[in-house]
Amino acid sequence: MRLIDADKFKQQIVAVTIRNNLVVEKSNAICDLIDKQPTAYDVDKVIDQLDNNATWPRMDETQWITLNEAVEIVKSGGVK
């Protein structure tokens, strides 16, 4: 999987539509389909997972999320 800039992609679709005099409704449908796709990398979900998986030090309890666990969360984009 690779991440793309959806807004830039939609601009390119519009440009190709105009340049080639294509049917506008089809381009709009493609752009709508792009908008409906789930986010592949959700920074907020990554932060939530890191927060939920880390127990910050308290009086006599010190358990931290491991670096490997953090790397796996970041690699997954917060998506489980």
Give me the pLDDT at residue 43, please.
77
What is the rounded distance in angstroms from the CA atom of residue 27 to the CA atom of residue 78?
Answer: 31
Give me the pLDDT at residue 60, please.
44
Residue-wise pLDDT for 13-33, tens only, equals: 999 999 999 999 999 999 999
Please tell me whether the overall predicted TM-score, pTM, comes out greater than 0.85 for this model: no
How long a stretch of residues is the chain?
A: 80
Give me the pLDDT at residue 59, please.
41
% of the chain surpassing 90 pLDDT: 39
Could you tell me if 17 and 27 are in contact, meaning their C-beta atoms sit under 8 angstroms apart? Answer: yes
Query: What residue segments make up the domains of the chain, in order of their start?
Result: 6-35, 43-76
